[in-house]
Amino acid sequence: MVKIIKNTTIMTLIAMVLGAIFGIVFGETMGQFKFIGTIWLDCIKMIIIPLVLCMMITAIADQEDAISLGRISIRTLIYYLITTVLAAIIGIAVALLIKPGLGVSLEGLTAVEIQNPDELTIQSIITGLFSNNMFGSFSSGNVIQTLVIAIFLGIAILKMNNKENKEVVLKWFRSINDMISLYITMIIKLAPIGVFFLMADTFGLYGLSIFTSVAGFIGTFWVGIILLMLIVYGGSLWIFAKMNIFTFLKKSTPVWMFTLASCSSSASVPVVIKSAKEAFNIPDRIAKFGLTLGSQINSGGSAILYPAVLIYISQLYGMTFDLGTFIQMVIVATLLCTASGGVPGGGIVLMLVIVETFGMPVEVVGIIAGFYRFIDMGTTTSNVLGDLVGTICVSKWEERTLAKVKTEEIVEQA
């Protein structure tokens, strides 16, 4: 019993189950205690900006040289891009096969008002990646701008010629990293308490109302998430690491339990980095780089959601799409998922944007938004696990490349 109590992972799983039960039994009363879970989550979020800054800077500066950095960067970006495209295709396929919108009536369901950002274009999204005041970006909690700042500063440190000065700068950032890691370890030990109240609030708010007409769409979405995990992520792990997807899920249990409860990709960064290094033996320089970058640009779960929403709405209103439109869905969904990490409002806002882009009725988005927590659990979990899978694959890829280079050097010397 003592071992179970000391095992944060097991206690967090128990807290999730108990939280769901308490939420269903006591209903919205549990919402009065949500602030306890919110405080726990805020204690993690408050450290995200310095964490992203320090981890990305040290991850880049610790690379052997600019060539190594470029190789890892390109491989990481290629992997994330390919899996995002495949996720969008899965989203279209499951929606077409299951047809969640046929014969469904949404009458009587309340729509949530969504604030649409002004002039959200590709140009504004790209411009929003860059900061004109880095301290302003830090104070406003803009993670994507912080990430870009960290990349530039990391490259600058990597290219410093004065080794003594370079080591002084890096030593400072590494020291901050150590402090952040200890802080995160302290907060994660409180996870069972925070998770219990967050899950209790979620199920207390929705209860059994999830089993409504929207359930078909949510179920379809989760089928897509499962297929993404089994086919895309499972296939990647087998090809690059000879690892079974179920072995991966077992080893990454602390990660997906955290994401199911928190629904925050940024807040999960320290948890997933810890898992990457301890459970999968990924080198520190690759783990920090791939996972920090992935938390902002890799969104396989979201790529399933956006085209699935379009097809769901089309089925509700009896619309049909041609092949060209499906291709456009994949392209737009991929762009939104890889370039919109700094858009306020996250998934709900982007769901509205893609529906408006294709000129479809936006009222349904408001109704879906009322149940978004159950969708967000899936998008966040698959996004973060996708980051971890991608980092494992890139790590193995890099390992083989370095082994090949070393072998060639031995042959040349002989």
Determine contact, residues 60/157, Cβ cutoff 8 Å.
yes
Note the helical H segments in 159-244. 163-188, 191-206, 215-227, 234-241
Distance CA 108, CA 105 (A): 9
pLDDT at 14: 84
Higher pLDDT, 172 or 103: 172
Give the pLDDT band (50/70/90) at residue 343. very low
| Across 190-210, average pLDDT | 76
Cβ-based neighbour number of residue 324 at 10 Å: 8
Tokens 């490259």 appear where? 155
* Backbone φ/ψ region at 110: left (φ over 0), alpha (ψ -120 to 50), beta: beta
Cβ-based neighbour number of residue 232 at 10 Å: 22
Kind and range of the H or E run holding 388: helix 372-413
The mean-pLDDT minimum among 186-200, 233-247, 386-400 falls in: 186-200
The mean-pLDDT minimum among 103-107, 160-164, 348-352 falls in: 103-107
Note the helical H segments in 128-162. 134-140, 143-158
pLDDT at 88: 94
| Across 194-205, average pLDDT | 81
Give the pLDDT band (50/70/90) at residue 414. low
Distance CA 250, CA 239 (A): 19
Q: What is the DSSP letter of 317?
A: T
Tens of pLDDT along 244-270?
999 999 999 989 988 887 777 777 888
Asked if pLDDT for residue 345 goes beyond 70, the answer is no
pLDDT at 385: 94
Q: Which fold has domain 2-413?
A: Proton glutamate symport protein (1.10.3860)
Determine contact, residues 288/51, Cβ cutoff 8 Å.
no
Both structure tokens of 383: 């996004």
pLDDT at 111: 47
Asked if pLDDT for residue 297 goes beyond 90, the answer is no
Asked if pLDDT for residue 235 goes beyond 80, the answer is yes
Backbone phi and psi for residue 396, each to the nearest 5 degrees, phi listed first? -65, -40
C-alpha distances (whole Å) from 73 to each of 63, 76, 276, 347, 382 are: 11, 5, 18, 26, 21
Backbone phi and psi for residue 195, each to the nearest 5 degrees, phi listed first? -65, -40
Give the pLDDT band (50/70/90) at residue 4. low
Among residues 198, 201, 199, 271, the alpha carbon closest in space to that of 47 is found at 271
| Across 324-336, average pLDDT | 86
pLDDT at 357: 80
In percent, the amount of the chain with pLDDT more than 90 equals 20
pLDDT at 118: 54
Distance CA 396, CA 241 (A): 6
Asked if pLDDT for residue 287 goes beyond 60, the answer is yes
DSSP sequence for 61-88: HTSSSHHHHHHHHHHHHHHHHHHHHHHH
Determine contact, residues 329/177, Cβ cutoff 8 Å.
no
pLDDT at 225: 95
Highest mean pLDDT among 32-36, 103-107, 368-372: 32-36
Tokens 């967050």 appear where? 198
The mean predicted confidence, pLDDT, of the chain is 82
Among residues 48, 6, 73, the alpha carbon closest in space to that of 290 is found at 73
- Please give the single-letter amino acid code of residue 84: T
- Please give the single-letter amino acid code of residue 210: I
The mean-pLDDT minimum among 36-40, 224-228, 267-271, 337-341 falls in: 337-341
272-276 long-range contacts (CB < 8 A, ≥24 apart) are: 272/384, 272/387, 272/388, 273/55, 274/181, 274/184, 275/251, 275/388, 276/388, 276/391, 276/392
**Is-above-0.85 flag for pTM?**
no
Tens of pLDDT along 15-62?
878 888 888 888 888 888 888 888 888 888 788 888 888 888 888 887
